[in-house]
Every structure is written in structure tokens, then in C-alpha cells.
Amino acid sequence: MKLITWNVNSVKSRLARTKELLLRHRPDVLALQELKVSDEVFPSSEFQELGYRTAVHGQSGRNGVALLSRRSMTDVAEGFAGDPVPDQARVVAATVDGIRVVNLYVVNGRAVGTSDYELKLRWLDALGAWIRAEHDPRDPLLIVGDFNVAPDDRDVHDPVLWRGSNLCSEAERERIGSLLDWGLVDLLRLQSAGPGPFTWWDYRAGAFHRGWGLRIDLALGTPAVAERCTEVLVDRDERKPTSGEGKPSDHAPLVVNLR
């Protein structure tokens, strides 16, 4: 099974590039974040024409997540029990080929010390509690998406500059660490010791061109999934302004191959 996770930063602005991505990689599953559209406006028929079923948890203007799949999806679920902000569309899950796929868009947090950051920590705590309560590390589980956390210094172009900042702070990293302690494996790190690769570059200050990136888009799998993992890579070309129709997202897609 081939799965791609990508924060598109508006599915409307990225529709042509998303279709190109599907035709280029032909993934079995595409997990999208930051749709910025309601369910009614989500372009399901455009993806159905390419052979994909859709499970959409949309929201007008902000957030929004979707799963596209060439194979049937069962037990589709939106949100999670205990979400401190259940009105925000940040989680959609489905079972594909016996694997429970959970697609996340984690609260950004804006800056350490703000109320947004405190919400981010509460949200990650609630997510972790839900995962531990409703899932079993012995089952095939794959949690993907925009985690808005760089798990350690290998995931940051300049760890000294970023030390303690939002996306890199210890409190956020502890929350990711507790998911790994529970039994999830960071699939990219099976393939690449780092530093890098990165998945996100700020739009400002020519960050992509200068290599100022972070790895905040992750694929975490239980051992049953990790042992099937043959390849994980970042489609860095997708982040280039020149490599598709219209402008790029600020995130690059993360591609995961399972045996």
C-alpha cells in the first residue's frame, strides 16, 4: 500500500497540483490537511474521476481534513472523543486494507506562551489519551498528518535558532515522545538517520530556497505497520514554485510505501 500525507493549504488553491500528485504517484491513500472548505464545497467529483473515494471532514475557511482512497474505506470517523475544540475539523480516520489510518491536523500553537500554544498542548494530551484508550499498539495503526511539531533537533535546519520555539519546544516534543513510548514508530526514521529531510518551509524570507525547513509532517505506525514499511520519502519537488500548476503549498508531501 502506498500512502501520501500532505498539508495542501487550501484544496481549492491546490486542486490542479493535488490531481497532478495523484496521477504522478498513484497512491492508494492520500491524506490531506488544511482543506479550508466545507464538506459541500470539497471537490469530491474531481477526485472520483481519478478513481478515488473520499472521506471528508471539512470546515469553511480553516482546518479541514480528508482521506482519498482507491480502495474501500470502512468505519469512517470524524473527530475524536475528548477533543477540547470539537468544532474544529482536525481528524478523520478510516480502515483501509485492514490498517486503521488516522489523519491529523494538529493545532498550530502560534507562539510559546500564548493561549493558542496552551490549547495545542491540551489538544495533544487529549489526542494521546484517545489513542491509548481506543487503540492497541498490537493492531495495525497508521497515524499521519501535519503534527506541527518537529520531534527532535534532526528535524530542524537550525536547532539553536529554533530551540524552545513553537514547533520545537520541549513540552510539544514530550507529547510526541509519549506517542512513541506507547508503541508508535516514526516511519521516516527507519529510512533516514537525518538531519532532515524537511517537509515544511515558511513562505516568507525565501525560506525554501535557503533550506530553512522543518520536519513537522509525520507518519507514525505501530510495529505491525513498521515491519511492512519499505520506503518513506519527501516529494520535495512539489514545494517548488515551478513544478506544477499554480503556487505550491508551504508543505511538501510525505510518501510512505508498505509491503
Partner DNA sequence: ATGTCACTTTACAAGTGA
Residues 136-165 interacting with DNA (rule: CB under 7 A): 161, 165
62 binds DNA per the rule CB under 7 A? yes
Backbone angles phi, psi at 50, to 5 degrees: -95, 5
Under rule CB under 7 A, residue 205 binds DNA: yes
Residue 203 designated active-site: no
**60 lies in the site for DNA, by CB under 7 A:** yes
Q: Which of 23, 40, 45, 61 binds DNA (CB under 7 A)?
A: 61
Residue 61, classified by CB atoms within 10 Å of its CB into exposed (0-12), middle (13-18) or buried (19+), is exposed
Number of CB atoms found within 10 A of residue 23's CB: 9
Work out the number of other CB atoms within 10 angstroms of the CB of residue 170.
11
Q: Closer CB to DNA, residue 9 or residue 169?
A: 9
CB of 43 to DNA, least distance (A): 12
| Candidates 52, 105, 117, 217; catalytic one | 105
Task: Give least dist CB 225 to DNA, A.
Answer: 27
245 belongs to the binding site for DNA (CB under 7 A): no
- Site for DNA contains 90 (CB under 7 A): no
State the Cα–Cα distance between residues 247 and 233, nearest whole angstrom.
Answer: 22
**Touching DNA, residues 93-122 (CB under 7 A):** 107-108, 110, 116
28 or 146: CB nearest DNA: 146
Residues 5-24: x where in contact with DNA by CB under 7 A, - otherwise, as a string: ----xx-xxx----------
In sequence order, the β-bridge partners of residue 218 are 145
217 noted as active-site residue: no
Helix (H) or strand (E) holding 7, with range, is strand 2-7
Beta carbons within 10 angstroms of residue 41's beta carbon: 15
* Ranges assigned E (strand) in 72-193: 74-78, 91-96, 99-105, 141-146, 185-186
Residue 187 CB neighbour total at 10 angstroms: 24
Q: Which three cell numbers stand for residue 133?
A: 484508550
Least distance CB 164 / DNA (angstroms)? 11
C-alpha cell at position 224: 505491525
Catalytically annotated residue among 146, 186, 217, 250: 146
Q: Does 181 bind DNA (CB under 7 A)?
A: no
Q: Distance (Å, rounded) from C-alpha 85 to C-alpha 251? A: 24
Polymer length of the chain = 259
Q: Tell me: does residue 240 bind DNA (CB under 7 A).
A: no
Q: How far is the CB of 224 from DNA (least distance, A)?
A: 32
The answer to the question of residue 206 lying near DNA (CB under 7 A) is yes
Compute the distance between CA of residue 227 and CA of residue 229 in angstroms, rounded to an integer: 6
Show which residues are catalytic: 105, 146
Q: What residue ranges bind DNA (CB under 7 A)?
A: 9-10, 12-14, 34, 36, 60-62, 107-108, 110, 116, 161, 165, 202-207, 209-210, 212, 241, 246-247
